[in-house]
Chains A and B, each alone.
Chain A
Amino acid sequence: MAKLDSKTPKGPLSDKWTNHKSKINLVSPANKRQIDVIVVGTGLAGASASATLAELGYNVKTFCFQDSPRRAHSIAAQGGINAAKNYQGDGDSTHRLFYDTIKGGDYRSREANVHRLAEVSTNIIDQCVAQGVPFARDYGGLLDNRSFGGVLVSRTFYAKGQTGQQLLLGAYSAMNRQIGRGKIKMYNRHEMMDLVVVDRKARGIITRNLIDGKLERHSAHAVVIASGGYGNVFFLSTNAMGSNTSAGWKVHKKGAHFANPCFTQIHPTCIPVSGDHQSKLTLMSESLRNDGRIWVPKKLEDAKAIREGNLKPTDLSEGDRDYYLERRYPAFGNLVPRDVASRAAKERCDAGFGVNSTGEAVYLDFAAAVIRYGKEQAHIKGLNEEDEVLVKNLGQEVVRSKYGNLFQMYEKIVDQNPYETPMMIYPAVHYTMGGVWVDYNLMTSIPGCFAIGEANFSDHGANRLGASALMQGLADGYFVLPYTMGDYLSNDIRTGTIPTDSSEFEAAEKDVKDQLDAFINNKGINSVDYYHRKLGKIMWDKCGMSRNEKGLKDAMLEIKSLREDFYKNVNVPGSQNEFNEQLAKAGRVADFLELGELFAKDALERTESCGGHFREESQTPEGEALRDDENFTFVSAWEYNGEPADAVLRKEELKYEEIEVKTRSYK
């Protein structure tokens, strides 16, 4: 098996990025005007990259499938964004953010990339404030911070429970400025259907206009994939309905390696499934674990009574509650990382302590925080701290100011008031750490094709820490890619405009058209969603929070046969040349049906447990994940070879120069 070169610069870790930036080639302002760049996706990574590349002088074409770039799913990120500002003076530093992120990722991320991420994190906050992003502030007018899972400092900047919205609208505004100047040409309601490779280089894409179905050819000197993660392979996830893997998967099929597909984050605090009609799941931000305490009843009979509706959670005394995270992990308590919190919830529910009618839910309780804040406010205002009603009202006001929109969302979905009764939560698929393999310059294994944000794989290892996705998306888009891309494009200054009438464009467009025709002409018996739901069930049951050899082998076979059935029996109504949501969905589900199989294969081959990847065969006597560093300290990068089951494993060995690789403990 051949090894992969990450092209990580030599030299001391903390100097790598600075030295690399000063040594790489640049493109002059005059030449930038001659170079075209395509960006697919307008989330934090895609929008920030588009804005910065346009500002530098490149001609940028940006594509999104939604009706506006502002709709990209980064908008739904809730809790916050990390940065090593150390404004709180609580011992934070670039090194500590770097260390926390590597450890949080269970030592399966690339050291140099993570250090660079920590280095540029502070720039992001400066940049966003300058753009008018309204972060939360304290009464002195300075920026406020809160804490997130897996760390012992408060380094998370936030805007209530809508941090992603505010950051994305900031990046969207930077893009709008460039669209107004004519430096970005924006294509809304356009879906990337394939990558065009000419002389082994990425030279353009084929798109479908989702309004009239027209196929279009777009050429460029480089193509950036910023299309997010593939969590919707599980059908039910916290992703948006349209979130898909197709751009990344098409690139994979054209020669880019796909890395660590089995590294998926199951987020511990989501609103539980309510019935078969469920179309998606809703996250309740990790920031809630700053103030919410997670528990289940201590006694099985109490859990049973609650499930049957004969007992209310507020009736249980403190002594009858099991705050299991505080019990198992005293150092980090409710703020353990997501993979640890999710598994702990599953363990309690599997043992029969789950609390809603399905038995798959635990409590997230704010009663203690309400009293704590209420007393504090009463003290500040010189009011009676012993007046329970007053304290409760004051405390609820504070909680509302911090998490108001999240509480409102919960109430609308569940029809219960979380100020009065604890929230019910359960883990759900949220984020994918795996993605298109990229080198240190964020370039995939296809020259000229780059991948940024959640679409790539490099920074979060086997588990992402909270508030780090926003950080990575903006770091890649604003501060990393615009530099590293110049190095590649410096060889293209004499190339001139790439023609779209070449045989490569011709062939790519024909392949796309053939697949669309096949869907429309299939006239099968089952809807696209029928297959998507079935795939999701296989993934959740066999590739979810815990995995084993037999289940994964079964999953591979089941997905393969489901895929065959899909091509035989799927029904896509309507025609190609119209607004046809079912047709768009069919293409996306077809790609999920391939990715799912590779996902299972990757999970099967990685016989260790690490981060969010939990193999039942590899655990400690206490049930914690047991890594196998000797055999698995590498990135699994899969090379496309026809059927997903035949993909070829290429390894990138992970070398840790600065960090001592240790057993991850949050006890």
Chain B
Amino acid sequence: MNLTLKIWRQANADAKGNMETYPISDVSPDMSFLEMMDVLNEELMVKGIDPVAFDHDCREGICGMCSMFINGEAHGPDRLVTTCQLHMRKFNDGDTITIEPFRANAFPVIKDLTVDRSAFDRIQQAGGFVSVNTSGNTQDANSIPIDKHDADKAFDAATCIGCGACVASCKNASAMLFVSAKVSQYALLPQGKIEATDRVLNMVKQMDDEGFGNCTNTGACEVECPKGISLENIARMNREYYSASLEG
């Protein structure tokens, strides 16, 4: 396949960015999208052009490090995949592909397609945990049976990889899907219920402080989420938040 790539180039956080056009030829349909980017970077270096910076690590869809807004969609046109799992067979010979970073005020660009998502870490630090010491002197793991349906729902919420696709896809740059996934995981488990009130209040406050927008229920986040995190989690977080606000 021969393709035309239009890629956002920005030297650093303070520089002004712009789109650059690069042709690429002989792309195999079995390549992953990032392998295609590797080939492009090798070619750019031969020409003395600075390679395109992009975040990536595990390349199997679980670490959440790869991002990229491809043809107007977070992680590209395929569903339930991250960019690293997207394969070139999803594109056609002659296509022009537009590649931009995940854009949000709370995700400043570091370089090219690499953005700073540390706001997500700070939200987790505000309450995304159970306050139990790691001494090993806890009770036996089977002493509290947990309804399988609740455990499964908690697991589904916990599979969020923290990539930020929800924020990038949202017209308000809202992080509600990300935050609600963690709030839901713990709210559904007896171990997490004890601190549920403080957790939801603290995490939502941090989310607001980081500059993420509000949720207007458009549902773009759920559609673009590579892990299929459900909007139900946002509903659950809203419930948790209102009841916590009344208690508080």
B65 at the interface (CB under 8 A from A): yes
Compute how far the CA of A67 lies from the CA of B192 in the bound complex, rounded to whole angstroms: 27
Chain A residue, CB-CB nearest to B123: A176
Which among B17-25, B79-87, B210-218, B230-238 touches the partner chain? B79-87
B148 at the interface (CB under 8 A from A): yes
Establish whether residues A180 and B125, one from each chain, have CB atoms under 8 Å apart when the complex forms: yes
Compute how far the CA of A140 lies from the CA of B149 in the bound complex, rounded to whole angstroms: 11
Establish whether residues B138 and A71, one from each chain, have CB atoms under 8 Å apart when the complex forms: no
Contacts of A68 in B (CB 8 A): 64-65, 117-118, 120-121, 162
> Assuming the A-B contacts A138-B148, A279-B32, are A180 and B126 also in contact, with contact meaning beta carbons closer than 8 angstroms in the complex?
yes
A240 at the interface (CB under 8 A from B): yes
Choose one: A138, A169, A242, A279; the contact of B158 (CB below 8 Å): A169
Establish whether residues B65 and A67, one from each chain, have CB atoms under 8 Å apart when the complex forms: yes
Compute how far the CA of A279 lies from the CA of B87 in the bound complex, rounded to whole angstroms: 13
Establish whether residues A127 and B62, one from each chain, have CB atoms under 8 Å apart when the complex forms: no
Compute how far the CA of A571 lies from the CA of B51 in the bound complex, rounded to whole angstroms: 12
Among A71, A188, A282, A527, find the residue whose CB has the most chain B CB atoms closer than 10 A: A71
Compute how far the CA of A69 lies from the CA of B148 in the bound complex, rounded to whole angstroms: 30
Establish whether residues A129 and B141, one from each chain, have CB atoms under 8 Å apart when the complex forms: yes
A389-438 at interface with B (beta carbon < 8 Å): 405, 408-409, 412-413, 415
Chain B residue, CB-CB nearest to A530: B42
Instruction: Name the distance in Å between B11's Cβ and chain A's nearest Cβ.
Output: 8
Among B36, B57, B121, B189, find the residue whose CB has the most chain A CB atoms closer than 10 A: B57
A335 at the interface (CB under 8 A from B): no
Establish whether residues B133 and A55, one from each chain, have CB atoms under 8 Å apart when the complex forms: yes
Interface string of B6-42 (1 = CB under 8 A from A): 0000011000000000000000101110111011001
B1 at the interface (CB under 8 A from A): no
Instruction: Name the distance in Å between B25's Cβ and chain A's nearest Cβ.
Output: 13
Establish whether residues A134 and B51, one from each chain, have CB atoms under 8 Å apart when the complex forms: no
Compute how far the CA of A571 lies from the CA of B47 in the bound complex, rounded to whole angstroms: 12
Compute how far the CA of A124 lies from the CA of B121 in the bound complex, rounded to whole angstroms: 24
Instruction: Name the distance in Å between A346's Cβ and chain B's nearest Cβ.
Output: 23
Establish whether residues B114 and A409, one from each chain, have CB atoms under 8 Å apart when the complex forms: no
Contacts of A242 in B (CB 8 A): 57
Compute how far the CA of A527 lies from the CA of B129 in the bound complex, rounded to whole angstroms: 43
Compute how far the CA of A124 lies from the CA of B135 in the bound complex, rounded to whole angstroms: 10
Instruction: Name the distance in Å between A77's Cβ and chain B's nearest Cβ.
Output: 9
> Assuming the A-B contacts A412-B78, A578-B111, are A571 and B45 also in contact, with contact meaning beta carbons closer than 8 angstroms in the complex?
yes
Establish whether residues B118 and A176, one from each chain, have CB atoms under 8 Å apart when the complex forms: no
Establish whether residues A120 and B136, one from each chain, have CB atoms under 8 Å apart when the complex forms: yes
A160 at the interface (CB under 8 A from B): yes
Instruction: Name the distance in Å between A71's Cβ and chain B's nearest Cβ.
Output: 4
B128 at the interface (CB under 8 A from A): yes
Compute how far the CA of A574 lies from the CA of B111 in the bound complex, rounded to whole angstroms: 13
Establish whether residues B87 and A141, one from each chain, have CB atoms under 8 Å apart when the complex forms: no
Contacts of B11 in A (CB 8 A): 578
Interface string of A270-281 (1 = CB under 8 A from B): 000011011110
B243 at the interface (CB under 8 A from A): no
Contacts of A67 in B (CB 8 A): 55, 65, 116-118
Establish whether residues B57 and A71, one from each chain, have CB atoms under 8 Å apart when the complex forms: yes
Chain B residue, CB-CB nearest to A49: B134
B61 at the interface (CB under 8 A from A): yes
Instruction: Name the distance in Å between B183's Cβ and chain A's nearest Cβ.
Output: 12
> Assuming the A-B contacts A134-B185, A140-B145, A279-B32, are A127 and B51 also in contact, with contact meaning beta carbons closer than 8 angstroms in the complex?
no
A73 at the interface (CB under 8 A from B): yes
B95 at the interface (CB under 8 A from A): no
> Assuming the A-B contacts A76-B60, A129-B191, A137-B148, are A48 and B121 also in contact, with contact meaning beta carbons closer than 8 angstroms in the complex?
no
Contacts of A93 in B (CB 8 A): none
A545 at the interface (CB under 8 A from B): no
Establish whether residues A176 and B63, one from each chain, have CB atoms under 8 Å apart when the complex forms: no
B247 at the interface (CB under 8 A from A): no
Establish whether residues B60 and A282, one from each chain, have CB atoms under 8 Å apart when the complex forms: yes
Instruction: Name the distance in Å between B216's Cβ and chain A's nearest Cβ.
Output: 27
Compute how far the CA of A128 lies from the CA of B141 in the bound complex, rounded to whole angstroms: 8
Establish whether residues A134 and B151, one from each chain, have CB atoms under 8 Å apart when the complex forms: yes
Chain B interface size, under 10 / 10 to 19 / 20 to 34 / 35 or more: 35 or more
B91 at the interface (CB under 8 A from A): no
Choose one: B60, B142, B186; the contact of A132 (CB below 8 Å): B186
Instruction: Name the distance in Å between A617's Cβ and chain B's nearest Cβ.
Output: 36
> Assuming the A-B contacts A73-B63, A139-B148, are A275 and B30 also in contact, with contact meaning beta carbons closer than 8 angstroms in the complex?
yes
Establish whether residues A177 and B121, one from each chain, have CB atoms under 8 Å apart when the complex forms: no
Choose one: B35, B120, B145, B155; the contact of A134 (CB below 8 Å): B155
A465 at the interface (CB under 8 A from B): no
Choose one: B63, B85, B89, B191; the contact of A71 (CB below 8 Å): B63
> Assuming the A-B contacts A68-B162, A131-B191, are A275 and B31 also in contact, with contact meaning beta carbons closer than 8 angstroms in the complex?
yes
Interface string of B101-123 (1 = CB under 8 A from A): 00000000011001011101100
Contacts of A305 in B (CB 8 A): none
Contacts of B64 in A (CB 8 A): 68, 70-71, 75
A159 at the interface (CB under 8 A from B): yes
A211 at the interface (CB under 8 A from B): yes
A645 at the interface (CB under 8 A from B): no
Establish whether residues A134 and B189, one from each chain, have CB atoms under 8 Å apart when the complex forms: yes
B134-188 at interface with A (beta carbon < 8 Å): 134-136, 138-142, 145-148, 151-152, 154-155, 158-159, 161-162, 185-186
Establish whether residues A176 and B121, one from each chain, have CB atoms under 8 Å apart when the complex forms: yes
> Assuming the A-B contacts A67-B65, A127-B138, A141-B145, are A574 and B50 also in contact, with contact meaning beta carbons closer than 8 angstroms in the complex?
yes
Establish whether residues B42 and A176, one from each chain, have CB atoms under 8 Å apart when the complex forms: no
Contacts of A85 in B (CB 8 A): 141
Instruction: Name the distance in Å between B144's Cβ and chain A's nearest Cβ.
Output: 8
Establish whether residues A177 and B117, one from each chain, have CB atoms under 8 Å apart when the complex forms: no
A488 at the interface (CB under 8 A from B): no
Interface string of A22-56 (1 = CB under 8 A from B): 00000000000000000000000000100110010
Establish whether residues B129 and A130, one from each chain, have CB atoms under 8 Å apart when the complex forms: no
Contacts of A278 in B (CB 8 A): 35
A276-306 at interface with B (beta carbon < 8 Å): 277-280, 282-283
A174 at the interface (CB under 8 A from B): yes
Compute how far the CA of A173 lies from the CA of B186 in the bound complex, rounded to whole angstroms: 11
Instruction: Name the distance in Å between A143's Cβ and chain B's nearest Cβ.
Output: 6
Compute how far the CA of A160 lies from the CA of B62 in the bound complex, rounded to whole angstroms: 13
> Assuming the A-B contacts A55-B133, A166-B158, A169-B158, are A280 and B186 also in contact, with contact meaning beta carbons closer than 8 angstroms in the complex?
no
A4 at the interface (CB under 8 A from B): no
> Assuming the A-B contacts A142-B142, A188-B118, are A529 and B191 also in contact, with contact meaning beta carbons closer than 8 angstroms in the complex?
no
Compute how far the CA of A139 lies from the CA of B146 in the bound complex, rounded to whole angstroms: 9
Establish whether residues A409 and B51, one from each chain, have CB atoms under 8 Å apart when the complex forms: no
A172 at the interface (CB under 8 A from B): yes
Establish whether residues B140 and A131, one from each chain, have CB atoms under 8 Å apart when the complex forms: no
Establish whether residues A581 and B53, one from each chain, have CB atoms under 8 Å apart when the complex forms: yes
Compute how far the CA of A124 lies from the CA of B136 in the bound complex, rounded to whole angstroms: 7
Chain B residue, CB-CB nearest to A580: B53
Establish whether residues B42 and A527, one from each chain, have CB atoms under 8 Å apart when the complex forms: yes
B62-102 at interface with A (beta carbon < 8 Å): 62-65, 78, 80-81, 85, 87, 89
Establish whether residues A126 and B141, one from each chain, have CB atoms under 8 Å apart when the complex forms: yes
Interface string of A520-532 (1 = CB under 8 A from B): 0000000101000
A87-142 at interface with B (beta carbon < 8 Å): 87, 120, 123-132, 134-142
Chain B residue, CB-CB nearest to A120: B136
Choose one: A70, A176, A578; the contact of B12 (CB below 8 Å): A578
12 A-B pairs with CB atoms under 8 Å apart are: A131-B130, A132-B192, A186-B121, A188-B121, A274-B30, A277-B30, A277-B36, A279-B35, A412-B78, A415-B87, A527-B42, A579-B12
User: 8 extra interchain contacts, Cβ-Cβ under 8 A, other than A48-B134, A70-B162, A180-B127?
Assistant: A73-B58, A126-B138, A131-B191, A160-B155, A211-B110, A277-B35, A412-B87, A579-B12
* A residues lining the B interface (CB < 8 Å): 48, 51-52, 55, 66-73, 75-76, 85, 87, 120, 123-132, 134-143, 159-160, 162, 165-166, 169, 172-174, 176-177, 179-180, 186, 188, 211, 240-242, 274-275, 277-280, 282-283, 405, 408-409, 412-413, 415, 478-479, 527, 529, 571, 573-574, 578-579, 581-582
Query: What are the 3 A-B residue pairs with the smallest beta carbon separation, nearest first?
Result: A141-B145, A123-B136, A173-B129
